[in-house]
Amino acid sequence: MGLLSLLINNPVAFILLAFPLLYSVIFHELAHGLVASWFGDNAAKDAGRLSLNPMDHLDPVGTLMLFLVGFGWAKPVPVNYYRLNNTKFGFIAVSLAGCVTNILLAIIAMFLLQF
């Protein structure tokens, strides 16, 4: 069930889910950019993508898909892997940053659902 059908059937549940879902894709991309910055690549910072502003990250089609089918995406943050201090480990860390962020957000959501 997509979020749009949830909006029709239960507007309160839609509001409770829409913002966390939108920000989950933002946090995912922000994590990639922050870790890249920690390893010496400032491409995301230079592009103004190290922010929580949804307009900096949201992809129109990815956002629409998020609402239609519950799965979406954001614009990827720019990363120049050649500028990373420790290229091999930095590459792995930047790549895993988004996945780790998603797992942490899922753990937080499961914890909050207990209440």
* DSSP secondary structure letter of residue 23: H
Tokens representing 105 are 């957000």
Exposed / middle / buried, residue 86 (Cβ in 10 Å: 0-12, 13-18, 19+): exposed
**Among 6, 27, 28, 29, the one annotated catalytic:** 29
For residue 81, the surrounding DSSP H or E stretch is none
Rounded to a whole number, what is the distance in angstroms from the first to the last CA of the chain? 24
- 73 flagged as catalytic: no
Give the tokens for residue 93. 């860390």
Residues taking part in catalysis: 29
